[in-house]
Structure 1
Amino acid sequence: MSATTAIPDTSAEAVTGIPRFHWRAVLGVSVALTAGLLALASRYGYYMDELYFRVAGRNLAWGYIDQPPLVPLLSRVQTFLFGDTLFAIRVIPALLTGLSVFVAALIARELGGGGRAQVLASIAASASLATMAAGHVLHPTAVDHVVWVTVCWLLIRLLRTRDTRLWLAIGAVVGVGMLAKYLVVLLVIGLFAGLLIAGPRQVLRSRHLLGGLAVGLVIAAPVLIWQGANGWPQFSMASELSGSFGLDTAIGFAIGQLIMIGLFLTPLWVTGLVWLFRRPAYRSLGVAYLVLVVLLIAIGGFARYTEGLLTVSLAAGCVPAVAWLKSLPRRVLMTVAIVANAILAAVMSVPVLPIDAYGADSPLGGVGDAQLGQAGWDRLTDQVADVYLSLPESDRAHTALLGWNYAEAGALDRYGPASGLPAAYSPHNSYYDFGFPAQDKTVVIAVGTDAATLAPHFAQCAVAASLKFDLPHLDEGKPVLVCRTPAEPWSALWPKLRWVGTF
C-alpha cells in the first residue's frame, strides 16, 4: 500500500465545474437593496399605473385589455396581507428585485466568476437604473425583470452543463412571465435566434425543449385563451405603444441603452457583451441582444425593453473585471463608478429627494417623469371633491364620478372615500369592464376630457373648474365637467364612451 493516499478533491470547482457560490455575501447585498426599497416605498404617492392595478385587483380576471392577470393578482394579495396602503402595494416588487440581484450573481458564477465577481455582479446590478426602477413600484416590469435574468441564467447553465432538462425550467419561467407581461416573447425570439445563428444548435435538438415549450404553454394557457376569445387586444395595445422607424428612433434607442443600466456602469456591461461574444459557448446571448435591438428599432419599441439582457451583460462583465481590479487605483475607480451610478439611478427612479426637486424650474425636471407620475393624485381628488360639494344636496345622491383614463378614476377610487365622494368609473381600457354608473346617476362629474367629447351624450355639460397642480402633471389645466341627464340609459351609453390606448 502506498505511503501516501490521494485525497479526493471535493471543492465546488471539482464537483460542479464552477466556483463555489458565496451566497451569504450575495444575500447580504440582496437584502440591503430590498430593505432600501422598502424604506422608500411610502414616499411620494401611488404611481399612475398602481392606481389602476389596485382597482383591477378587486376585479380579478384571466386577462385585461392592456395586460395579463398576474400584476392585479399581486395587488390583491398584497393589500389582503398588508393592508390598503402605499407601502403594502410595493412589498412584492422590492422582494422580486432583491431576487433579481441574487440571480445576477448566479449568472456571474455560472460564467466562471469566483466570489469577488459574484459580489461585484450583485452590487453592480443593485446600482443600475433598470433594477431600481423595477423594484420601486408595482408594475409588470417588477416581474418581467426577474423573469428575464432567470431565463438567461438557466440557459447559461444549460449551455455549460448540456443538461437539456433545464428547458423544462426555462419553459416554466417563461410561462410565469407571460402571466405578467407579454414582452417575454421577445426574449424567447432573441435567444432562439441567437442559438440558431451562433450555436450550439445541438441543444435545440432535444425532446426537453418540446417539453419546456409545453410547460410554458400550459402555464400561459389562461391568458392565451383569454386573448383569443377577446380578439387579441394585445396587438392593438402593442400598435398603440410602437412608433415608426427612423434615424431619430435609432439614435434615441442608442441613448436609451446607455441610460438603462447607467452611464457610469456602461463600460462594465459593454465589457460583458464583448466577453460573451468571445466565448463560443455563450455567444448566443450576445447575438440575442443584437437581434432584440434590431427588432425593437424596426417596430419602434422602447429602449428599456432590452434591460433584462443588459443586466445579464452587466453580470457577465464582472467576471473579467475582477482580473482588471488588481491595483488599488482601479478598485477605487470601480467603487466611484458604482456609487455614482447608484446615486444617479436613485435620483431618476426612487424617491430619495423631496418631490419638489423635480419641479419645472429644477435642473432635474427633465429626468423626473417617473417621480412626477407619483404626485398630484390626491390633489386631483381634492379639486373634484370641491366641485362635488358645490352641487345642491339633492344632486349629490344621483352623482357619479368619471375619470377619462384609468389613473384619474383610480385616484378618485383611492382618495375619494375620505372626502365622501361617490364611486368612480372609467371607460378606459379594462377599467371599462369594472362597471358603469347605475341608472339613477343622472349627474356626472368628469375629469380628463373636454366638454365636446361628452356633450353629445348629455343634455348639459359645463366646466365647473380647471385642475391646477403645484408640480408638472398630466392633467394640468384640464377641466372638471358637470354633465347632467344622460341622453340614453347607461347600459347603452357606456359602450359609446369606451376607448382603448395610452395617455
Structure 2
Amino acid sequence: MIEKHKLFLLILIATLVRGIIAITTGLGNDEVYYVTYAQHLQWNYFDHPPMVALLIRLTTLNLFFTNDLFIRLGPIILAGVNTYLIYTICKNIKNEKAGFIAALLFSGSFYSSIIAGVFIMPDSPQLFFWIICVSLLIKIVSTTKTDTHLKYNLLLFGLVAGLCIMSKIHGIFLWFGFGLYILCYKRVLLANKYLYLAVLITILIISPVLIWNINNHFITYTFHSNRVSINNGINPSSFFREFFGGIFYNNPINYFLIFTSIIAL
C-alpha cells in the first residue's frame, strides 16, 4: 500500500506539471495541424487515422472550449492513466516495488510524459491503447488453452488493437509481434477460433481507414513508406540524429538502465 500511495502522489505531481506546461506553452505547428483534423472530421487523413481528432472533440466538448488546456487535456489525462497501467502491469509481473519503479521510469521519459503526455498528437491515444494491448498480451500468453478468460482477452485485444491502429497506423505492429510470438512459442493458439475473430474485429474497426486509402490510392502507406526509404543507402547524419534523438526522447538515464538490465538478464 505504501508504494500505491507513492504512485498516486507521483501521478498527481506529474499531472500538475503537465497542466502547467500545457497552459504556459503555445500550440506547436503539429498540434495546430491536428486541431484542423478535429475541425474537419473525416474517416482518415493524409498521414494519420482520425483518433486524435476524436480525442480533441471529446476534451473540448465538441470544440466548445478551444483554449490550449482543453485541447491538450486528453494527453494529460491519458498520461496519468498510462502511469497507473504501467504500475499495474509490472506489479503483476513482479511486485509493487517493481511497479513503482516502472511508473517512475515512465514518468521520467520525455516521450511518454511530455511529447505524448502533454502535446496533442496521434501518439497520445496510440500509447494508451498500446499499453492496454501489452497488458492483454501478457495475460493471453500466460494462460492455458482451457482458461475461460482466454477468449475474452483475445477478443478484447482485437478491439483495442483496432483502436490503436485508428490512432496511428503503426499500431499494426502489435499484430505482427503477436503473430510472430504465436508462430515461435504458442502455436496452440492457431487452433483457437477466437484468435481469428480478434483479427476480424480489428479489420472491422480499421475498415474506414482501409476504404479511404483504397479510394485515395493508398496515399497514407505511400507517404510513410517514402519517409523510411533506404534506396539511396544509409545517411550517417540522419542515422545518428535519429539514434541519439531516441535516447534523448526516452531519457538517457532510462535508456542506460534499460540497456544494462537487458545485458544483466
Query: Normalising by the residue count of structure 1, what TM-score does the alignment of the two structures yield?
Result: 0.47
Partner in structure 1 of residue 218 of structure 2: 232
Aligned partner of 1:42 among 20, 23, 47: 23
Equivalents in 1 of 2:127, 2:216: separation in Å?
Answer: 27
Deviation per CA, 1:248-272: give whole Å up to 9, x if none.
2655554344334221122332255
Partner in structure 2 of residue 407 of structure 1: none
Please tell me whether residue 269 in structure 1 is matched to residue 258 in structure 2.
Answer: yes
Aligned partner of 1:87 among 66, 69, 73: 69
Which amino acid counterpart does residue 190 of structure 1 have in structure 2? G
Partner in structure 2 of residue 212 of structure 1: 198
Deviation per CA, 1:230-257: give whole Å up to 9, x if none.
2211112113422425272655554344
Partner in structure 2 of residue 180 of structure 1: 167
Partner in structure 1 of residue 183 of structure 2: 196
Partner in structure 2 of residue 115 of structure 1: 96
Partner in structure 2 of residue 246 of structure 1: 234
Equivalents in 2 of 1:194, 1:129: separation in Å?
Answer: 29
Equivalents in 2 of 1:271, 1:190: separation in Å?
Answer: 23
Partner in structure 2 of residue 153 of structure 1: 135
Equivalents in 2 of 1:227, 1:58: separation in Å?
Answer: 21
Which amino acid counterpart does residue 12 of structure 2 have in structure 1? V
Deviation per CA, 1:205-229: give whole Å up to 9, x if none.
3222112112212222222222222
Partner in structure 2 of residue 61 of structure 1: 42
Partner in structure 1 of residue 248 of structure 2: 259
Partner in structure 2 of residue 311 of structure 1: none
The alpha-carbon deviation at position 42 of structure 1 amounts to 1.4
Change (3 A) 1:26 1:215: farther
Pairs within 5 Å for 1:24-423 = 24-80=5-61, 83-111=65-93, 113-132=94-113, 133-162=115-144, 163=147, 164-165=150-151, 166-197=153-184, 199-244=185-230, 245-246=233-234, 248=236, 251-273=240-262
Deviation per CA, 1:162-194: give whole Å up to 9, x if none.
353211111111111121110111232133224
Structure number with higher relative contact order (C-alpha < 8 Å, ≥ 6 residues apart): 2
Verify the 8 A CA contact 2:161 2:174 in the aligned structure 1: no
Equivalents in 1 of 2:25, 2:71: separation in Å?
Answer: 14
Q: How many residues align structurally?
A: 255
The alpha-carbon deviation at position 96 of structure 1 amounts to 1.1
Q: Which runs of 5+ in 2 are unaligned?
A: none
Verify the 8 A CA contact 1:110 1:156 in the aligned structure 2: no
Equivalents in 2 of 1:129, 1:139: separation in Å?
Answer: 14
- Relative to total residues, which structure has the larger helix share, 1 or 2? 2
Change (3 A) 1:268 1:55: same
Equivalents in 2 of 1:91, 1:207: separation in Å?
Answer: 39
Equivalents in 1 of 2:140, 2:261: separation in Å?
Answer: 19
Q: Which runs of 5+ in 1 are unaligned?
A: 1-19, 279-503
Shifted more, 253-262 versus 233-242: the winner is: 253-262
The alpha-carbon deviation at position 25 of structure 1 amounts to 4.2
Query: Normalising by the residue count of structure 2, what TM-score does the alignment of the two structures yield?
Result: 0.85
The alpha-carbon deviation at position 64 of structure 1 amounts to 1.2
Equivalents in 2 of 1:44, 1:178: separation in Å?
Answer: 29
Which amino acid counterpart does residue 203 of structure 1 have in structure 2? L
Equivalents in 1 of 2:20, 2:137: separation in Å?
Answer: 34
Equivalents in 2 of 1:39, 1:126: separation in Å?
Answer: 16
Please give the root-mean-square deviation of Cα atoms over the aligned residues, in Å.
2.5
Change (3 A) 1:105 1:200: same
Change (3 A) 1:214 1:28: farther
Shifted more, 133-142 versus 147-156: the winner is: 147-156
Equivalents in 1 of 2:89, 2:32: separation in Å?
Answer: 35
Verify the 8 A CA contact 1:37 1:136 in the aligned structure 2: yes
Verify the 8 A CA contact 2:91 2:97 in the aligned structure 1: no
Deviation per CA, 1:256-307: give whole Å up to 9, x if none.
44334221122332255457xx6xxxxxxxxxxxxxxxxxxxxxxxxxxxxx
Verify the 8 A CA contact 1:71 1:140 in the aligned structure 2: yes
The alpha-carbon deviation at position 73 of structure 1 amounts to 2.0
SS at match of 2:88: helix
Partner in structure 2 of residue 491 of structure 1: none
- Relative to total residues, which structure has the larger strand share, 1 or 2? 1
Verify the 8 A CA contact 1:97 1:135 in the aligned structure 2: yes
Change (3 A) 1:240 1:21: farther
SS at match of 1:107: helix
SS at match of 1:83: coil
SS at match of 1:41: helix
Higher alpha-carbon Rg: 1
Which amino acid counterpart does residue 267 of structure 1 have in structure 2? F
Verify the 8 A CA contact 1:74 1:92 in the aligned structure 2: yes
The alpha-carbon deviation at position 126 of structure 1 amounts to 0.5
Shifted more, 159-168 versus 51-60: the winner is: 159-168
SS at match of 2:225: helix
